[in-house]
Amino acid sequence: MDSSDEAWRLDPLARVLPAVRPRKLAKVPFVELAEGRLQGVVSSGSDIERVYVSSITAGSHGLSCSTNNNRPCGGLNGGSLCKHLQSLAEEAVQQYGLDRVARYLKVEVPEGSSLAAALSGSRDPAPAAAVFSRFLRHLAYLEAPASTAAEPEMQWFRGAGAVV
Amino acid sequence: MRGAQLAALLEQAPAGVPEALDLVSGFDDLLEHGLARIGQGRAGALAAIAGALEGTPLGSPAHEAVAKLSAGSVSREHLVTLAGARAALLGAAHDALLEHCDAALERTRGAWNQSPSAAVGTGPGEAVQAWLQELAVTGWRGLDQGHVDGADRLVEALLADPGGRRLAVLLDGLAAELRASVPIGPAACVPTRRWADLWSRAMLLARQATNGAGDTEPVTGRLLPLGVDVLEHGTAVQVLVYGVLETPTGTPRLVRTGVTAAKTDTISGPAVWRLLTAFPLLLTALAQQRSLELRDVALTADGRLLWDEARAALGEVADPFATARVLLPGVLAPAAAPLDRHPVALNEPVLVEGYKTAGGSWTVDGRNLRIEVDRLPATGPLTPALLKASTACIGVLRHDGSGWLLRPLAVQAKSKNSSTAYHGGDWALGPTDPKVVKAESKSGDPVAVLRERAGRLLRR
């Protein structure tokens, strides 16, 4: 362990998370690495009221895509990604970086290749309702009123710095 | 801050601080490896903490907690005691550093005169403590996704109750970092101080009955902002304004005020200001460097104005650099709230001028002052290049465990023949830099997109 590692260990404001890269949210408003899956919500291209819940399971790379009312996505057949899953994979890489997504899904992505191309799973429906409710919970943060109360713990959170 | 003041700050370090931090490291090491793996070496480090508190009210409970833990029996109450012991050591380090800083800056500070509240709460706090206990037994190095996912339902329950929000914000911040880091390999480095800080804060906060502001006094006068810091993690952002409060009678007081909004991890950078549109006066004052006229606004004993738009009015333009030059040297600084005492809480506003810039270290009258150039908020115009070209800087002095450094909040920088000021709040009403405006319009407004989705999908 060198001295900069030691300084990082002992720095109460050590930076742990990388800076978030801004991404367009219109197509894929929600992406997360949780519950053993890369999962998220993809807006339907044709119907503003409809969203698709898409996920890729870590390890097995099982693919799942359906509407929030549990109607299977017609574009997901066999082992190839539907356009929703492709968007999900692209936006996850944009948000978290390829390394973190690949590590979570336990997939080797050869240099110059894409995450979607490196996946070898097949269709394996996962529960859409749970992911959709996590998306609603995510959106609910925006409904919480701002607070003027003391939150001194925020001093530990300095953001990740600007992406230059 | 004059050269002599900086010399006094940097030259003599207060005695005992490294020793106190070493004791804290003993506890932090335990959290890294887990209470289940407490060996003789780590038991010895715990005993040293209890020994350091001998003669204080925490001494005897700490001894008992250490004895029980070393014998392999883990209880929540003993963990709370040790979190308290750790906080006491860091509180002492905070006090020594603050006293040293005040002496160097010749800054006068008020005394704490409130009686402690002994109320202990129940409710979601107990479930939070149970989760924290599980983390402590396992240790950071033993955690898996399952442990981390346990935070989700705790946060959900806490957010349902306005009194639980502060703890929810803290847990969300810790959980996001753990989620991104586990499983931690044996060779990987762990931010032990940081996570132990967050763990201990949560343990103690979960025990408190209320997160009230304590006694406040109504103040009427003029708030002259010095600078603004923006603190954020994935699901929260805090705008923290440092300023000087002038009242009709009495010495100008160093105060701060702030607002905190919930957000998603996909909202960051200049977009976060749009989450604070409920505070147009505060944002306008920041964007236009205006003063604020306050009428009967509550001021806490630790110098925090509970921001209230209904009791504020926009005042004249007030250059923060003029405020810093004229008023800052003679301000009365507030005492720190007892439970908030920690070196991280040290953020002393200062003005630095007449320096030579060189990356992360500036030279002032032959002394080197470290500058935090790599953590500038993306919500404002400050960049490393601007800092390099700067001739004057308003910032907060902070201490990172190994020494003092300056976190810049505003600078005056030379461009061609004129000098221009750049403040962290310049973009509070929207970015003023055409490049940033263009980048924003390219990626779209994340707040508007998510609000549209929320409006369509949440209320069904």
Same domain, B93 and B151: no
Radius of gyration of chain B (CA): 23
Q: pLDDT > 90: what percent of chain B?
A: 78
A28, A88 Cβ separation under 8 angstroms = yes
Same domain, B34 and B69: yes
Same domain, B237 and B288: yes
B253 reaches A (C-beta below 8 A): no
**CB-CB neighbors (< 8 A) of B21 in chain A:** 10
Q: Is residue A19 part of a domain?
A: no
Q: 3-state DSSP call for residue B177?
A: helix
Secondary structure class of A57 (helix, strand, coil): strand
Q: Do A149 and B456 touch (CB under 8 A)?
A: no
* Preceding peptide of A125 cis, ω within 30°: no
A29 with B450: Cβ contact below 8 A:
yes
- Which residue, B90, B108, B126, sits at the end of a domain? B108
Burial annotation B72-100 (CB, 10 A radius, 16+ → b, else e): eebebebbbbbbbbbbbbbbbbbebbbeb
Chain B residue whose CA is closest to A8: B191
pLDDT one-digit tens code per residue, B203-258: 999 987 555 667 899 999 999 999 999 999 999 999 999 999 999 988 999 999 99
* B206 lies in the same domain as B305: no
Identity of the residue numbered B399: H
| Residue A53 included in any domain | yes
Q: What pLDDT score was predicted for residue B364?
A: 92
Same domain, B178 and B124: yes
Evaluate whether residue B120 is within a structural domain: yes
Q: Is A152 within a domain?
A: no
* Residue B148 covered by a domain: yes
The answer to whether B260 contacts A146, with C-beta atoms less than 8 Å apart, is: yes
Task: For residues B426 and B270, give the distance between their C-alpha atoms in angstroms, rounded to a whole number.
Answer: 10
B120 and B23 in a common domain: no
**Which residue of A1, A100, A159 is in closest CB contact with B232?**
A159
Q: Residue A146 falls within a domain, yes or no?
A: no
**Residue A68 structural domain:** 26-135
Nearest residue in chain A measured CA to CA from B205: A153
- The answer to whether residue B177 sits within a structural domain is yes
Among the candidates B147, B177, B211, a domain finishes at B211
| B198 to A35: CB separation less than 8 angstroms, yes or no | no
The lowest-confidence range among A16-20, B63-67, B137-141 is A16-20
Q: Do the Cβ atoms of A144 and B444 come within 8 Å?
A: no
The minimal CB distance from A144 to the residues B159, B170, B451 is found for: B159
More confident residue, B160 or B299: B299
Query: B45 is in which domain, residue-wise?
Result: 1-108
Determine, for residues A142 and B159 on separate chains, whether the beta-carbon distance falls below 8 Å. no
Inter-chain CB proximity B458 and A95 less than 8 Å:
no
Q: Look at residue B141 and tell me if it is in a domain.
A: yes
Query: B278 — contact with chain A (CB < 8 Å)?
Result: yes
Would you say residue B301 lies in a domain? yes
Count up the domains in chain B and report the number.
Answer: 3
In a domain, B376, yes or no: no
- Is residue A147 included in any domain, yes or no? no
- For B403-421, the pLDDT digits (tens) are 999 999 999 998 777 889 9
pLDDT (tens digit, 9 = 90+) per residue, B321-364? 999 999 999 999 999 999 999 999 999 999 999 999 988 999 99
Distance from CA of B127 to the nearest CA of A (A): 20
Q: A11 to chain B, minimum CA–CA distance in Å?
A: 6
Residues of B in contact with A144 (CB under 8 A): 159, 165, 261-262
State the total domains in chain A: 1
Q: Which of B211, B241, B266 is the last residue of a domain?
A: B211
CA of B115, closest CA in chain A: separation in Å? 18
B130 pLDDT more than 80: yes
Please check whether residue A13 lies inside any domain of the structure: no
Per-residue pLDDT for A162 more than 70?
no
pLDDT digits (tens, 9 = 90+) for B269-287: 999 999 999 999 999 999 9
Residue B56 lies in a domain: yes
pLDDT digits (tens, 9 = 90+) for A2-49: 678 888 999 999 999 887 778 899 999 999 998 889 999 999 988 888
Contacts of A88 in chain B (CB under 8 A): none
Is A10 inside any structural domain? no
Which chain A residue has its CA at the smallest distance from B235's CA? A141
- Pair (B155, B220) in one structural domain: no
Three-state SS for B320? Answer: helix
Query: Would you state the pLDDT for residue B117?
Result: 66
